[in-house]
Structure 1
Amino acid sequence: MDIYLQKKDILTTRAGCPQIKIIFLIENKSLNNSLSAEHGLSLWLEIGKEKILFDTGSSNKFIQNAKQLGVDLSETKWIILSHGHYDHTSGLAEALKLAPKAKIVLHPNSIVPRYSIEKNNPRKISMPIESKKALLQIKEEQIIWNSGPFRLFQGVGVSGFIPREHLEQDKQNFFEDPKGQRKDIIPDDQTMWINCEDKLILITGCCHAGVLNTLDYLIKITGSPNKPIILIGGLHLYKTPLQNIQKLIQDLKKYNIQTIIPCHCTGDTASQEFSKYFFNTIKAHTGFIWKVEN
């Protein structure tokens, strides 16, 4: 189910962009011993009165973190899955127990088998079977299978498949079979956007489509060629050589990037390099809260 955008689809109120709050429910690192961390990602978004859960981590740990952070997951209206890897989908079944009427937005390829292969050793990284079963147990109309841009509500949506125009900076050893015969380009990788009058906020899970491809496509479909960009999420650069990261940063200077909040699979090296060239680089962690207020 794809809904293509009309021009000037902008999130706004009479007072301007509504209040936006993003809470990191789970991330690779935590600065608070009372909050769990894991190799995974889950974000809670409050956009005006809308409540969105973006990804569900590698386990159910994000749920306990949510309680400590004062987040009521039963209020979830939308669950967005950035792609079908386990570290973004493992908590889906428990999330649906708390919010059984939430609508789920995901690409059809999110549920296919997939593997990471390093030194001829295959590792299964698919969506867990418990999460797939949970999808079968809810009403069909709650599930939105999007392969292209989908609009959640005014000024907010997800990209669906992101075309690959630029070469990747990160070498990805992902396959659809354990023998490594079918390359997985991860077509289900999608980015969420919040298109305000004065800024474009992009939220990525792992950005497997590539940072430049993601920026180009999201700018295109939102009709936002000149707006300041706030880039939040995993950028999958943790295994990328330093020279490739530095080349990427030179390319990123062509965009109007106001803020970068890297996390999860971005890696410390890339995050440190970003902070050298982009003044407003903020390293996120479990429990981190970012707000836009008017």
Structure 2
Amino acid sequence: MRVAVIIDNNPHPSQDLLTEHGLSIYFEADGFKWLVDVGGSAQFYTNAVSMGINVEDVDFLVLSHGHFDHTGGLEQFIKVNKKAQIIISAQILGKTFYSYRLQAKRDISINHSVVNQHINRFIVADGNMRISTNVGLVCEIPIIYTTPKANNKLFIVDSDGEQPDGFKHEVALAVNTAEGIVVFSGCSHNGVLNILEACSIYFNQPQIIACIGGTHLIDSDAINKFETESEINEIGKTIVSSYPNMQLITGHCTGINVQSQLSKILGVNFKSFHSGTYLSF
């Protein structure tokens, strides 16, 4: 199984690929071509062309949640790809999403007009769903462990007005391989440990060999105080204890200091990705 990170916040060390605050990941499984998220703009497509990845041939696009940095390239995707089914949580439709993390209130919602104009292209998921033989959409994520503190800056507006976002609209993708599960999680707003648990339960498979995506464990700054060093260490130790053979492969929305801490705990099982990263399992 080969995986390619098409776009991420972090630049490729040698290739001239675009970066942005966003994420898009490509892989192949069960004879299909898959895309998880489309970054924050059409730039994901520019990178895909440079990398020799034919977005036109993608069979399934899975949108991990309703934020713009994972869905901003949707209009470009629909423009160039005429066949893929696009999978989206039912909890995204009709909702507006806001962030207060940079002090001023910002609308970070998916472009609902693009969705509405092309709704015939979408599979709207309201629960866990097997997409193909070995690929499952995991929507039901029980909250056993604490969720990222940076979620406190994120809100949702629905028929009940504005309220803290509970991230019912976030999904993960689990791929069951002969060696174990590969998990794709755009931002892990529900907490990486909770998502791993949900994916393990979904396939009744305790062995997870990789988790690829953001963790939403953001470095604290002068204004925002998020997870302490001790709390990050506990997350790392729980991963090592529960999934000793798992690689945590992250970049987008995982702080640099957090990455450094996790790498000390996970050792060779920790990897950082960037635009243009290739992975094999």
TM-score where L is the length of structure 1: 0.85
Name the SS for the 2:202 alignment partner: helix
CA-to-aligned-CA distance 1:144-174 (integer Å, 9 cap, x gap)? 1112211111111210131222222434121
Give the match for residue 90 of structure 2.
108
Matches within 5 A, 1:112-151: 112-118=95-101, 121-128=104-111, 132-138=112-118, 140=120, 142-151=121-130
User: What displacement does 1:185 show?
Assistant: 1.0
* Contact kept in structure 2, 1:107 and 1:145, CA below 8 Å: yes
Give the match for residue 31 of structure 2.
49
* Contact kept in structure 1, 2:237 and 2:265, CA below 8 Å: no
Give the aligned residue type for 1:144. Answer: I
User: What displacement does 1:229 show?
Assistant: 2.6
* Contact kept in structure 2, 1:169 and 1:248, CA below 8 Å: no
Give distance in 2, aligned partners of 1:145 and 1:25: 25
User: What displacement does 1:177 show?
Assistant: 4.2
Segments of 5+ residues of structure 1 without an aligned counterpart are: 1-19
* Contact kept in structure 2, 1:42 and 1:88, CA below 8 Å: yes
Aligned residues: 267
Give distance in 2, aligned partners of 1:181 and 1:113: 9
Matches within 5 A, 1:1-294: 20-31=1-12, 32=14, 34-111=16-93, 112-118=95-101, 121-128=104-111, 132-138=112-118, 140=120, 142-172=121-151, 173-177=153-157, 181-225=162-206, 227-239=207-219, 240-256=227-243, 257-278=245-266, 279-292=268-281
Q: Which contiguous aligned blocks of 4+ residues in structure 1 show a shift greater than 6 angstroms?
A: none
Give the aligned residue type for 1:289. Answer: Y
RMSD: 1.9
* Contact kept in structure 1, 2:156 and 2:163, CA below 8 Å: yes
Name the SS for the 2:237 alignment partner: helix
Give the aligned residue type for 1:183. Answer: P
Segments of 5+ residues of structure 2 without an aligned counterpart are: 220-226
TM-score where L is the length of structure 2: 0.89
Give the aligned residue type for 2:201. Answer: K
CA-to-aligned-CA distance 1:252-286 (integer Å, 9 cap, x gap)? 22212421111101121221122112122111000
* Contact kept in structure 1, 2:63 and 2:88, CA below 8 Å: yes
* Contact kept in structure 1, 2:148 and 2:189, CA below 8 Å: no
Give distance in 2, aligned partners of 1:97 and 1:216: 36
Give distance in 2, aligned partners of 1:253 and 1:33: 33
Give distance in 2, aligned partners of 1:118 and 1:45: 32
* Contact kept in structure 1, 2:148 and 2:216, CA below 8 Å: no
